[in-house]
Amino acid sequence: MKQKIYFVSDFHLGAHARLSSAERERQLVRWLDQVAVDAAAIYIVGDLFEFWFEYKTVVPKGYTRLFGKLASLRDAGLPIFIFTGNHDLWMFGYFEQEFGIPVYYKPIQVELLGKSFFIGHGDGLGPGDKGFKIMKKVFTSRLAQWLFRWLHPDAGIGLANYFSKQSRAATPEAERSWMGEDREWLLQYAHRKLDQGVSPDFFVFGHRHLPIDWLLKNGHSRYINLGEWLQYNSYAVFDGTTIELRFFENTGTIITNWNGIQTD
């Protein structure tokens, strides 16, 4: 019986990093083949693409290996769920219509194998980053989407990829590594949700690009950040009891504040 839930995020297909985008896509397909053996469901938690925009009759070129694998897994009955991230928030129905894959645009709280999960990409959550929050409101406005749709796809996608690279290059060096418990905004967001009475067993986010497993202040809930596939190739697996961060065809270090022994 298939009793494992897999979580993964931040592939940024279309961008080159430690490996080319094409090589990373092949890695993703190999990973999907591996986890499909015992997966009860797979959650792709945002930024699957470096940029994605669905025109009315056009989708971005490429990713045929990934799309073929997603189609075959869904046809075989494996539940797959996708969250939009800040790089691929312009999804308008293609994944639902072509693959039968639900797409979530905001965080959700759900029960999986008897445990409660709060799942979302993580962009725009927590304190600070006001500039991005304003920009996201612009990007998600119907007017901005309508105007962008009038650009030829070659021009629109080329322009978007250029600004995406500029944005990545402008990220302060201090934000590319662990900033400490008091400055990690998604960790602060999780603690704020606890204060509001939202206390799932696991908060699962992407966006931060660091593999993190952090026991929260209530001594029970854990903040899991899935890391990314530009450098780490990290993901999480839940077996019905606990969740574990792992690495695929790579090794890495998990940022954590506990030893896996938990008391209530």
Question: What is the per-residue pLDDT across 198-235, written as a single tens digit (0 to 9) for each?
Answer: 999 999 999 999 999 999 999 999 999 999 999 999 99
Tokens for 230?
Answer: 């530009």
| Range scoring the smallest mean pLDDT among 2-6, 134-138, 189-193 | 134-138
Choose between 149 and 240: higher pLDDT. Answer: 240
Report how far apart, in Å, the C-alpha atoms of 7 and of each of 35, 50, 148, 152, 248 are: 10, 18, 31, 35, 13
Please indicate, yes or no, if residue 263 is contained in any of the structural domains: no
**In the predicted model, is pLDDT for residue 248 greater than 80?**
yes
Q: Is residue 40 one of the residues assigned to a domain?
A: yes
> Is residue 125 scored above 80 in pLDDT?
yes
Residue 262 resides in a domain: no
Kindly report the average pLDDT of the chain as a whole number. 88
Residue 114 has pLDDT above 80, yes or no: yes
Q: Yes or no: say if 240 and 155 are a contact pair by the CB < 8 Å rule.
A: no
Q: Single out the residue of 248, 168, 237 nearest to residue 209, CA to CA.
A: 168
- Residue-range definition of the domain harbouring residue 214: 4-256
Report the range of poorest mean pLDDT among 50-64, 72-86, 89-103, 159-173: 159-173
Instruction: Provide the number of structural domains found in the chain.
Output: 1
Asked if pLDDT for residue 170 goes beyond 50, the answer is no
Residue-by-residue DSSP string for the chain: ---EEEEE----BTS-SSS-HHHHHHHHHHHHHHHTTTEEEEEEES-SBS--B--SS---S--HHHHHHHHHHHHTT--EEEE--SSS-B--SHHHHHH---EESS-EEEEETTEEEEEE--TT-SS--HHHHHHHHHHTSHHHHHHHHTS-HHHHHHHHHHHHHHHHHTS-GGGGS---TTT-HHHHHHHHHHHTT---SEEEE-SS-SEEEEE-TTSS-EEEEE--TTTT-EEEEE-SS-EEEEESSS----EES--S----
Q: What is the pLDDT of residue 174?
A: 53
What's the pLDDT at 129?
Answer: 61
- Asked whether residue 264 carries a pLDDT value surpassing 80, the answer given is no
Say if 237 falls within a structural domain.
yes
Report if residue 142 sits inside a domain. Answer: yes
| 77: Cβ contacts below 8 Å, ≥ 6 apart | none
Task: Assign residue 50 the CATH number of its domain.
Answer: 3.60.21.10
Task: Tell me the CA distances in angstroms from 122 to 46, 67, 108, 214, 226, one per residue in order.
Answer: 9, 25, 11, 15, 11
pLDDT for 165 equals: 65
Residue 193 falls inside a structural domain? yes
Could you tell me the pLDDT band of residue 92, with boundaries at 50, 70 and 90? confident
Q: What are the pLDDT digits (tens) for 51-72? A: 888 887 878 888 999 999 999 9
Predicted confidence band at 176 (pLDDT cuts at 50, 70, 90)?
A: confident
pTM: 0.91
Structural domain includes residue 93: yes
In a domain, 261, yes or no: no
Task: List, as own/partner pairs, every contact residues 101-105 make where C-beta atoms lie below 8 angstroms and the sequence separation is at least 24, other chains included.
Answer: 101/70, 101/74
